[in-house]
Protein backbone atom coordinates (compact mmCIF):
# COMPACT_ATOMS: atom_id res chain seq x y z
CA UNK A 1 0.00 0.00 0.00
CA UNK A 2 1.43 3.35 -1.08
CA UNK A 3 0.67 6.73 0.45
CA UNK A 4 2.01 9.82 2.16
CA UNK A 5 3.06 10.20 5.78
CA UNK A 6 3.11 13.54 7.58
CA UNK A 7 5.24 14.14 10.65
CA UNK A 8 3.23 15.16 13.71
CA UNK A 9 5.90 14.91 16.43
CA UNK A 10 9.65 14.39 16.83
CA UNK A 11 11.58 13.57 20.00
CA UNK A 12 14.95 12.19 21.05
CA UNK A 13 14.49 8.99 23.03
CA UNK A 14 18.27 8.52 23.43
CA UNK A 15 21.21 10.70 22.35
CA UNK A 16 21.44 8.73 19.09
CA UNK A 17 17.81 7.76 18.46
CA UNK A 18 15.07 10.01 17.09
CA UNK A 19 11.45 8.86 17.32
CA UNK A 20 9.23 10.34 14.62
CA UNK A 21 5.44 10.14 14.79
CA UNK A 22 3.60 10.03 11.46
CA UNK A 23 -0.02 10.24 10.46
CA UNK A 24 -1.46 9.26 7.10
CA UNK A 25 -4.22 7.60 5.14
CA UNK A 26 -5.22 4.05 6.07
CA UNK A 27 -3.07 3.92 9.21
CA UNK A 28 -6.21 3.55 11.31
CA UNK A 29 -6.87 0.22 9.56
CA UNK A 30 -3.28 -1.01 9.65
CA UNK A 31 -3.15 -4.63 10.80
CA UNK A 32 -0.64 -5.18 13.59
CA UNK A 33 2.04 -7.89 13.71
CA UNK A 34 5.49 -8.12 15.32
CA UNK A 35 8.57 -6.98 13.39
CA UNK A 36 6.40 -4.99 11.00
CA UNK A 37 8.45 -3.27 8.31
CA UNK A 38 7.65 -0.60 5.77
CA UNK A 39 9.60 1.34 3.19
CA UNK A 40 9.95 5.09 3.63
CA UNK A 41 10.59 7.32 0.62
CA UNK A 42 12.69 10.45 1.15
CA UNK A 43 12.29 13.14 -1.53
CA UNK A 44 15.29 14.84 -3.18
CA UNK A 45 16.20 18.15 -1.47
CA UNK A 46 13.75 20.90 -2.33
CA UNK A 47 11.27 18.60 -4.06
CA UNK A 48 7.95 17.08 -2.95
CA UNK A 49 7.56 13.32 -2.68
CA UNK A 50 6.70 11.74 -6.02
CA UNK A 51 5.04 8.34 -5.66
CA UNK A 52 4.89 5.59 -8.30
CA UNK A 53 1.65 5.65 -10.28
CA UNK A 54 0.99 1.92 -10.02
CA UNK A 55 -0.72 -0.40 -7.60
CA UNK A 56 -0.98 -4.18 -7.52
CA UNK A 57 1.92 -6.56 -7.05
CA UNK A 58 5.26 -5.37 -5.71
CA UNK A 59 7.18 -5.96 -8.95
CA UNK A 60 4.88 -3.75 -11.00
CA UNK A 61 5.04 -1.12 -8.26
CA UNK A 62 8.84 -1.25 -8.18
CA UNK A 63 9.09 -0.93 -11.96
CA UNK A 64 6.93 2.20 -11.74
CA UNK A 65 9.21 3.49 -8.98
CA UNK A 66 12.29 3.00 -11.16
CA UNK A 67 10.51 4.78 -14.03
CA UNK A 68 10.42 8.03 -12.05
CA UNK A 69 13.17 10.32 -13.44
CA UNK A 70 16.32 10.05 -11.33
CA UNK A 71 16.25 13.71 -10.30
CA UNK A 72 12.70 13.29 -8.93
CA UNK A 73 12.92 9.74 -7.59
CA UNK A 74 12.79 9.43 -3.79
CA UNK A 75 15.42 7.49 -1.88
CA UNK A 76 13.83 4.39 -0.36
CA UNK A 77 14.84 2.83 2.96
CA UNK A 78 13.32 0.07 5.12
CA UNK A 79 12.25 0.73 8.71
CA UNK A 80 10.36 -1.05 11.47
CA UNK A 81 7.14 0.28 12.99
CA UNK A 82 8.03 1.02 16.63
CA UNK A 83 4.48 1.64 17.83
CA UNK A 84 1.01 2.34 16.46
CA UNK A 85 -2.12 4.17 17.62
CA UNK A 86 -4.92 3.20 15.21
CA UNK A 87 -7.50 5.48 16.84
CA UNK A 88 -5.27 8.45 15.96
CA UNK A 89 -4.06 7.03 12.62
CA UNK A 90 -0.49 7.31 13.92
CA UNK A 91 2.68 5.22 13.83
CA UNK A 92 6.09 5.78 15.41
CA UNK A 93 9.36 5.04 13.63
CA UNK A 94 12.77 5.19 15.33
CA UNK A 95 15.78 6.51 13.40
CA UNK A 96 19.27 5.65 14.61
CA UNK A 97 21.71 8.49 13.89
CA UNK A 98 24.86 6.82 12.60
CA UNK A 99 27.81 9.13 13.32
CA UNK A 100 28.18 12.67 12.05
CA UNK A 101 27.68 11.85 8.38
CA UNK A 102 25.09 9.22 7.57
CA UNK A 103 22.95 8.74 4.50
CA UNK A 104 19.77 10.47 3.34
CA UNK A 105 17.54 8.91 6.02
CA UNK A 106 19.87 9.92 8.85
CA UNK A 107 20.27 13.40 7.40
CA UNK A 108 16.49 13.77 7.14
CA UNK A 109 15.93 12.53 10.70
CA UNK A 110 18.42 15.03 12.16
CA UNK A 111 16.23 17.94 11.06
CA UNK A 112 12.78 16.31 10.90
CA UNK A 113 9.94 18.55 12.07
CA UNK A 114 6.12 18.47 12.20
CA UNK A 115 4.68 19.04 8.75
CA UNK A 116 7.44 17.21 6.88
CA UNK A 117 6.10 14.64 4.39
CA UNK A 118 7.53 11.29 3.28
CA UNK A 119 6.17 8.56 1.03
CA UNK A 120 5.61 4.99 2.16
CA UNK A 121 5.17 1.53 0.74
CA UNK A 122 3.65 -1.02 3.11
CA UNK A 123 3.57 -2.51 5.61
CA UNK A 124 2.68 -5.44 3.36
CA UNK A 125 1.39 -8.64 4.99
CA UNK A 126 3.12 -10.60 2.21
CA UNK A 127 6.37 -9.94 4.07
CA UNK A 128 5.05 -11.01 7.45
CA UNK A 129 7.28 -13.65 9.02
CA UNK A 130 6.11 -16.33 11.47
CA UNK A 131 7.10 -15.92 15.10
CA UNK A 132 10.06 -18.07 16.20
CA UNK A 133 8.90 -21.19 18.04
CA UNK A 134 11.08 -23.22 20.46
CA UNK A 135 11.64 -23.89 24.14
CA UNK A 136 14.03 -20.93 24.11
CA UNK A 137 13.96 -18.06 21.62
CA UNK A 138 17.18 -16.06 21.23
CA UNK A 139 16.69 -12.45 20.15
CA UNK A 140 19.95 -10.68 19.33
CA UNK A 141 20.86 -7.48 17.53
CA UNK A 142 22.31 -4.01 17.66
CA UNK A 143 20.57 -0.68 18.28
CA UNK A 144 18.76 -0.83 14.92
CA UNK A 145 17.00 -4.01 16.08
CA UNK A 146 15.42 -2.45 19.19
CA UNK A 147 12.04 -1.55 17.57
CA UNK A 148 11.58 -5.07 16.20
CA UNK A 149 12.70 -6.71 19.46
CA UNK A 150 10.23 -4.55 21.37
CA UNK A 151 7.38 -5.79 19.18
CA UNK A 152 8.52 -9.42 19.36
CA UNK A 153 8.64 -9.29 23.15
CA UNK A 154 4.94 -8.41 23.14
CA UNK A 155 4.27 -11.87 21.66
CA UNK A 156 7.16 -14.11 22.80
CA UNK A 157 7.37 -14.92 26.52
CA UNK A 158 10.34 -17.33 26.49
CA UNK A 159 12.97 -15.06 24.96
CA UNK A 160 16.61 -14.59 25.90
CA UNK A 161 17.55 -11.12 24.66
CA UNK A 162 20.96 -9.63 23.90
CA UNK A 163 21.23 -6.10 22.50
CA UNK A 164 24.48 -4.28 21.73
CA UNK A 165 24.38 -0.48 21.85
CA UNK A 166 27.13 2.17 21.82
CA UNK A 167 26.89 2.91 25.56
CA UNK A 168 24.52 2.93 28.55
CA UNK A 169 22.76 6.09 27.33
CA UNK A 170 21.35 4.12 24.37
CA UNK A 171 19.43 1.59 26.47
CA UNK A 172 15.64 1.79 26.19
CA UNK A 173 12.90 0.41 28.47
CA UNK A 174 11.87 -3.04 27.20
CA UNK A 175 9.82 -5.79 28.84
CA UNK A 176 11.50 -8.93 30.15
CA UNK A 177 15.10 -9.72 30.97
CA UNK A 178 17.25 -7.91 28.41
CA UNK A 179 21.04 -8.21 28.46
CA UNK A 180 22.38 -4.82 27.38
CA UNK A 181 25.91 -4.83 25.98
CA UNK A 182 27.92 -1.62 25.60
CA UNK A 183 30.14 -1.34 22.55
CA UNK A 184 32.24 1.54 23.91
CA UNK A 185 35.44 1.47 21.80
CA UNK A 186 35.22 -2.19 20.71
CA UNK A 187 34.44 -3.20 17.10
CA UNK A 188 30.77 -3.32 16.16
CA UNK A 189 29.27 -6.68 17.14
CA UNK A 190 32.23 -7.99 19.16
CA UNK A 191 30.50 -7.69 22.53
CA UNK A 192 27.30 -9.24 21.17
CA UNK A 193 29.07 -12.21 19.61
CA UNK A 194 31.03 -12.88 22.83
CA UNK A 195 27.86 -12.72 24.93
CA UNK A 196 25.92 -15.08 22.66
CA UNK A 197 28.84 -17.52 22.61
CA UNK A 198 28.80 -17.63 26.42
CA UNK A 199 25.00 -17.66 26.82
CA UNK A 200 23.25 -20.63 28.41
CA UNK A 201 20.25 -21.33 26.19
CA UNK A 202 18.79 -24.35 27.98
CA UNK A 203 18.59 -28.04 27.10
CA UNK A 204 15.44 -27.89 24.95
CA UNK A 205 14.91 -26.66 21.43
CA UNK A 206 16.31 -23.25 20.46
CA UNK A 207 15.38 -20.84 17.68
CA UNK A 208 16.91 -17.46 16.96
CA UNK A 209 15.98 -14.07 15.55
CA UNK A 210 18.94 -11.90 14.55
CA UNK A 211 19.07 -8.39 13.09
CA UNK A 212 21.44 -5.46 12.72
CA UNK A 213 24.64 -4.84 10.80
CA UNK A 214 24.95 -7.53 8.11
CA UNK A 215 28.46 -8.73 8.95
CA UNK A 216 27.57 -9.02 12.63
CA UNK A 217 24.44 -11.03 11.81
CA UNK A 218 26.50 -13.31 9.58
CA UNK A 219 29.00 -14.00 12.40
CA UNK A 220 26.17 -14.81 14.82
CA UNK A 221 24.62 -17.26 12.35
CA UNK A 222 27.96 -19.00 11.81
CA UNK A 223 28.28 -19.49 15.57
CA UNK A 224 24.74 -20.74 16.07
CA UNK A 225 24.89 -23.21 13.16
CA UNK A 226 28.54 -24.28 13.41
CA UNK A 227 29.06 -24.25 17.19
CA UNK A 228 25.58 -24.64 18.65
CA UNK A 229 24.18 -26.99 16.02
CA UNK A 230 21.05 -24.98 15.20
CA UNK A 231 19.42 -25.77 11.90
CA UNK A 232 19.47 -22.97 9.36
CA UNK A 233 15.67 -23.07 9.32
CA UNK A 234 15.68 -22.31 13.06
CA UNK A 235 17.24 -18.87 12.49
CA UNK A 236 15.34 -15.84 11.22
CA UNK A 237 17.84 -13.14 10.24
CA UNK A 238 18.02 -9.72 8.58
CA UNK A 239 21.00 -7.53 7.81
CA UNK A 240 19.46 -4.10 8.28
CA UNK A 241 22.55 -2.19 7.18
CA UNK A 242 26.10 -2.66 5.92
CA UNK A 243 29.23 -0.92 7.13
CA UNK A 244 30.60 1.47 4.49
CA UNK A 245 27.76 0.54 2.10
CA UNK A 246 24.18 1.75 1.64
CA UNK A 247 21.06 0.07 0.29
CA UNK A 248 21.82 1.77 -3.03
CA UNK A 249 25.18 0.00 -3.40
CA UNK A 250 25.39 -3.30 -5.27
CA UNK A 251 24.99 -6.45 -3.17
CA UNK A 252 28.19 -8.23 -2.18
CA UNK A 253 28.62 -11.98 -2.76
CA UNK A 254 27.83 -12.45 0.94
CA UNK A 255 24.61 -10.44 0.54
CA UNK A 256 23.57 -12.60 -2.41
CA UNK A 257 24.29 -15.78 -0.46
CA UNK A 258 22.18 -14.49 2.45
CA UNK A 259 19.30 -13.67 0.12
CA UNK A 260 19.48 -17.12 -1.50
CA UNK A 261 19.39 -18.77 1.92
CA UNK A 262 16.33 -16.77 3.02
CA UNK A 263 14.51 -17.79 -0.17
CA UNK A 264 15.65 -21.40 -0.04
Task: Show the domains of the chain with their CATH numbers.
Answer: 2-127 (2.40.30.10), 136-263 (3.40.50.80)
What is the percent of the chain with per-residue pLDDT over 70, rounded to a whole number?
89
Q: Is 192's pLDDT higher than 80?
A: yes
Report the C-alpha gap between 43 and 75 in whole angstroms: 6
Average of pLDDT values for 70-87?
94
Task: Give the mean model confidence (pLDDT) for residues 83-106.
Answer: 88
Residues 6 and 22 sit within 8 Å (Cβ to Cβ) = yes
At 179, the pLDDT band (50, 70, 90 cuts) reads very high
* Strand (E) or helix (H) holding 58: helix 58-67
pLDDT of residue 263: 42
Strands 178-182 and 159-165: parallel
> pLDDT tier at 125 (50, 70, 90 boundaries)?
confident
Least confident of 43-47, 213-217, 228-232: 43-47
Least confident among 29-38, 111-120, 217-226? 29-38
Question: In Å, how far from its chain's centre is CA 178?
Answer: 18
- Mean pLDDT of the residues in the chain: 89
Q: Which has the higher per-residue pLDDT, 101 or 3? A: 3
- The whole model's pTM is what? 0.89
SS3 235: strand
Residue 249 confidence (pLDDT) = 47
Cβ contact 30:91 at 8 Å:
yes
Contact 213, 243 (CB under 8 A): yes
Amino acid sequence: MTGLLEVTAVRRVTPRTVRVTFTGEYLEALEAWPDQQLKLMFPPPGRPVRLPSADGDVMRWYQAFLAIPAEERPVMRSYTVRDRRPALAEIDVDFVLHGNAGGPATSWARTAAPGDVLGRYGPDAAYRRPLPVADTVLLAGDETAIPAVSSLLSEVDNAVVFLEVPDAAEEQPLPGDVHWLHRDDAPHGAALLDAVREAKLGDGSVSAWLAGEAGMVRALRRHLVGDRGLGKRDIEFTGYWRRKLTQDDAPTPEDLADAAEKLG
